[in-house]
Structure 1
Amino acid sequence: MWVEHPNEADNGIQLSMWKILTDKKVLSWAMYDWANSAFAAVMLASIFPVFFKEYLSAGQSVTTSTFHLGMANSIAGIVIVLLAPILGAIADAGEARKRMLLSFAALGMIMTAALYGVAQGAWLAAATLYVLAVVGFMGSVIFYDALIVKASRPEHYDLVSGYGYALGYLGGGILLSVDILMTAYPTWFGFVDSTEAVRFAFVSVAIWWAVFTLPLLFNLPADRGGARVGLKRAVTGGFRDLYKTYRDIRQYKLVWLFLVSYWLYIDGVDTVVRMAIDFGLSIGFDSQDLIVAILITQFVGFPAALLFGLLGERIGPKAGILIALGVYLLVTIWAYFMQQVQEFYMLAVVIGLVQGGVQSLSRSLYARIIPADKAGQFFGFYNMMGKFAAVIGPGLIGTVAFLTDSSRLGILSVIALFLAGALLLWKVDVREGERIARRA
């Protein structure tokens, strides 16, 4: 069972790629990736980690600030771990995916903008606001992922999912470019110094996120009002449905096998995204060089995510993910031995080629093998597994760096996660999973 695409011809002829990507609902759904990826590019991957280490953590050692940033990411992940399956159950019970997405997005926007007022050295206040902003960001993605079934048909999930990630890389890259210029040449933009420009960069993320969420707000189907329930009843029902959701997922053995695989390998992916800048700073690279490298990743990731979507349609999402994981394994080993900043640039290009691919194909593969009418609950578990991985990865790197006084040793820890995840993914029979999902 799946949600029919409103513009799909009854004879089942496949739409052209252009017609799929320009469909109003598909484009509006994908534009939320454009919107929230500003947060991923500026706050998770580049400007905020630098500002946190060099300004908000003034007076601390590099390994101590790494530990604090890693723990902040881990705490945010723990919150999502606890909330994700419950939120998914609540959203499906009340058909509230769209409303829940907007609520969490608003939390993320407000907390991001609030970082403008944090003083130098106030790392704890900054970390607290950052945790809440990350919870808003990740919470909204739970419902965004689940809404793919409202925007497209299963045979187009690979392309549409890759489209979302591609727009995300482009949108995040555009705002990051502006913010880099703003912080490098603050007087051009009317700021007193780079510190004031960085503060405003956080506000720019919130504004960008809000403006480009509007297409999803207006063009995706509204939540069914007749199914709404009160908060207390919804929460009670969510907890009650949580165990049922777990049982449902366990009945789909291939779904469960994929989730465990995903939990392992996405840990490495998320850790690379969130801790790359911190790692580069810890081994002595200049912050501006590192931020430009992240910008390169954004723009390389734009066409690469689209190409991976097409690759997924040709060779299957499973094969595409396995290729990407092989690249990540080599990148991790390379990072351990890295000595020159030019190598960081090269790694940024390589990561840009596969990062969007492994994320988009994971989402589309999962959407293929789950029943569409339980997408909110199942994607709740999907995000829970992914964000639980984000609990382990950044915390592990921070702890190893702190205990050994070596950031290089921490980065090697993700190798085992990529290997174990790939081995389990190899055992997932996607075609069988699709057949089971359609019979549900």
Structure 2
Amino acid sequence: MTKPERSWVLYDVGNSAYVLLASTLIPIYFSAIADPNSSAVVAWGYASTVASLVLALLMPFLGSLADLKGNKKKFLAGTIGTGAVTLAVMGIPSDAMVFLVIYVVSSVMLNASLVFYDAFLVDAASSEERYDEVSSQGYAWGYIGSCVPFIICLVLVLFGENFGIGQLDGIRISFVITAVWWLAFSVPIWRDVHQTHYKPREEHLFKNTITGLVGTCKKIFHDHRLMMFMLAFFFYIDGVHTIIAMSTSYGTDLGISSTNLVLALLVTQFVAFPSAIAYGRLAGRFGTKKMLLIAVFAYFLITLFAAFFLRSAAEFWVLAICVGLFQGGIQALSRSEFGKLIPKEHANEYYGFFDIFGKYAAIMGTLLVSVFTQLTGSSSIGVLSVAVLFIVGFVLLLKMPEGTAAGE
């Protein structure tokens, strides 16, 4: 890889540590400081929803502004700096609601930075043919790199009492460790990756930005290939995120111990590392669309396995390994394929819409699981309902026509 490509990949190593922390230790910490008479799950759900809505409303607009010459790196630095500082101080307040407010700000900044980071792919990669390989390397090193600070944090939390560090203090220190890790691995992209695709600066900025967003929506709607891909992505990535979000609660419902669940999560990260790299190289040989179709079909089979065969800890480990084989590939190639379909000078703006379709699609999947579980009394039937998302995503992706990037 070139120096800009390596530097772009390293940012995934930094931000992935926070992503892993947010799905494990942060919810545990919030539950510990929340009022015992209140519902921590409800409060956490509302906070996550607010963070998602704020980001969904802001990102297309901020993305459009970031596309202007010289803005992309400033927006990336601003979101990283604000996010890292709020993460580091997250352990200071003892009041649960104050903690939630800080978490929402930090979460919004993290996910906003990821939109700018994704959009930097078109600047960092030496050519469009390199998008698959570079995007896959990012996810791969992000998976393995995030394990380093997470294992350190886990040791502090689980064994810190041997050194006079309580469990909650261990989590508070983990916030600082992860923030420093995030900042440290943000330096290379700031130093070595430069905005080469951009829109020229112009007068009447606000009015032109709104007009540009409306125009982008029309372009997406009228570009049949891009629209088909985004719809397919919406359905199959919804299924992927639902499996990630619900696997722990499903495993708990089956009586699998929390130790096995956490260790299985780590196994997924380690398996995803070589698998994501391999997927990027296979895409170069067989085509991105074909490899995405294979990954979507594999997730369909994983859903069937979870619904009909998953009953013990050993089978949960098998599931974790299977997810690791395809998780990085399907996310990395979706990101790179989208980059090939869009006009490069509007990358931030388009990736803002991509982010909405991607990160917030899981509402439908989790709703399906909850409704069918409640109606049938079986969590296995609830999980099986997710298979529909992969079927729809597969069909839409299969029917996506060949063509060129939007606006070309």
TM-score by length of 2: 0.89
- Residue 362 (str. 1) matches residue 334 (str. 2): yes
Give the CA deviation at 1:371: 2.1
Which whole-Å CA distance do the structure 2 matches of 1:216 and 1:50 have between them?
A: 32
**Contact 1:93 1:234 survives alignment (8 Å):** no
Give the CA deviation at 1:383: 1.2
**For residue 4 of structure 1, what is the aligned residue in structure 2?**
none
Structure 1 spans left out of the alignment, 5+ residues: 1-20
**For residue 192 of structure 2, what is the aligned residue in structure 1?**
219
Distance of aligned partners of 1:49 and 1:331 in 2 relative to their CA distance in 1, 3 Å threshold = farther
What amino acid is the match of 1:164?
A: G
- Residue 382 (str. 1) matches residue 357 (str. 2): no
**What SS does the aligned partner of 2:165 have?**
coil
**For residue 5 of structure 1, what is the aligned residue in structure 2?**
none
- Residue 350 (str. 1) matches residue 288 (str. 2): no
Alignment of 1:57-72 (within 5 A): 59=36, 65-72=40-47
Which whole-Å CA distance do the structure 2 matches of 1:401 and 1:113 have between them?
A: 38
**For residue 276 of structure 1, what is the aligned residue in structure 2?**
247
Which whole-Å CA distance do the structure 2 matches of 1:110 and 1:409 have between them?
A: 43
- From 111, 135, 148, the equivalent of 1:161 is 135
Which whole-Å CA distance do the structure 2 matches of 1:410 and 1:118 have between them?
A: 38
**For residue 333 of structure 1, what is the aligned residue in structure 2?**
304
**For residue 150 of structure 1, what is the aligned residue in structure 2?**
123
**Contact 1:73 1:395 survives alignment (8 Å):** no
Which whole-Å CA distance do the structure 2 matches of 1:304 and 1:410 have between them?
A: 28
**Contact 2:91 2:99 survives alignment (8 Å):** no
Which whole-Å CA distance do the structure 2 matches of 1:281 and 1:199 have between them?
A: 26
Q: Deviations over 1:158-182 (max 9, x none)?
A: 1111011111011112222222222
**For residue 87 of structure 2, what is the aligned residue in structure 1?**
112
Give the CA deviation at 1:208: 0.8
- From 88, 99, 102, the equivalent of 1:129 is 102
**Contact 1:71 1:394 survives alignment (8 Å):** no
Which whole-Å CA distance do the structure 1 matches of 2:302 and 2:37 have between them?
A: 29
What amino acid is the match of 1:247?
A: K
Distance of aligned partners of 1:277 and 1:184 in 2 relative to their CA distance in 1, 3 Å threshold = same
Distance of aligned partners of 1:78 and 1:438 in 2 relative to their CA distance in 1, 3 Å threshold = closer
Give the CA deviation at 1:266: 1.0
- From 141, 147, 159, the equivalent of 1:173 is 147
Q: Deviations over 1:284-330 (max 9, x none)?
A: 43333222211111111111110010111111111111211222222
What amino acid is the match of 2:268?
A: T
Which whole-Å CA distance do the structure 1 matches of 2:303 and 2:42 have between them?
A: 20
**What SS does the aligned partner of 1:116 have?**
coil
Give the CA deviation at 1:368: 1.6
Which whole-Å CA distance do the structure 1 matches of 2:407 and 2:357 have between them?
A: 25
- From 70, 73, 76, the equivalent of 1:98 is 73
**For residue 160 of structure 2, what is the aligned residue in structure 1?**
186
**For residue 26 of structure 1, what is the aligned residue in structure 2?**
5
Say which is worse superposed, 416-425 or 331-340, in terms of deviation.
331-340
Q: Deviations over 1:189-230 (max 9, x none)?
A: x45222211222122221111110000111111689996689
Which whole-Å CA distance do the structure 2 matches of 1:408 and 1:118 have between them?
A: 40
Q: Deviations over 1:22-54 (max 9, x none)?
A: x1100011111111000122213x32344445x
Say which is worse superposed, 108-117 or 313-322, in terms of deviation.
108-117
Which whole-Å CA distance do the structure 2 matches of 1:268 and 1:126 have between them?
A: 30
Which whole-Å CA distance do the structure 2 matches of 1:368 and 1:134 have between them?
A: 28
Say which is worse superposed, 391-400 or 305-314, in terms of deviation.
391-400
How well do the aligned residues superpose, as a CA RMSD in angstroms? Answer: 3.0
Give the CA deviation at 1:359: 0.3
Distance of aligned partners of 1:134 and 1:58 in 2 relative to their CA distance in 1, 3 Å threshold = same
**For residue 35 of structure 1, what is the aligned residue in structure 2?**
14
Which whole-Å CA distance do the structure 2 matches of 1:167 and 1:299 have between them?
A: 10
Which whole-Å CA distance do the structure 1 matches of 2:371 and 2:18 have between them?
A: 25
Which whole-Å CA distance do the structure 1 matches of 2:3 and 2:143 have between them?
A: 20
- Residue 196 (str. 1) matches residue 189 (str. 2): no
Structure 2 spans left out of the alignment, 5+ residues: none
Q: Deviations over 1:126-155 (max 9, x none)?
A: 444333332212111111111111111111
Give identity over the alignment, percent.
Answer: 33
**What SS does the aligned partner of 1:300 have?**
helix
Distance of aligned partners of 1:56 and 1:264 in 2 relative to their CA distance in 1, 3 Å threshold = farther
- From 79, 85, 92, the equivalent of 2:60 is 85
- Residue 425 (str. 1) matches residue 403 (str. 2): no
**Contact 1:97 1:223 survives alignment (8 Å):** no
Distance of aligned partners of 1:407 and 1:126 in 2 relative to their CA distance in 1, 3 Å threshold = farther
Matched residue count: 406
What amino acid is the match of 1:237?
A: N
Say which is worse superposed, 318-327 or 148-157, in terms of deviation.
318-327
Which whole-Å CA distance do the structure 2 matches of 1:215 and 1:385 have between them?
A: 29
Give the CA deviation at 1:98: 1.7
Give the CA deviation at 1:393: 4.0
Which whole-Å CA distance do the structure 1 matches of 2:367 and 2:70 have between them?
A: 35
**Contact 1:184 1:194 survives alignment (8 Å):** yes
**What SS does the aligned partner of 2:59 have?**
helix
Q: Deviations over 1:86-123 (max 9, x none)?
A: 12211113442222122222232233223313548x3x
What amino acid is the match of 2:75?
A: M
Alignment of 1:253-268 (within 5 A): 253-268=224-239
What amino acid is the match of 1:182?
A: L
What amino acid is the match of 2:292?
A: I
Distance of aligned partners of 1:182 and 1:72 in 2 relative to their CA distance in 1, 3 Å threshold = same
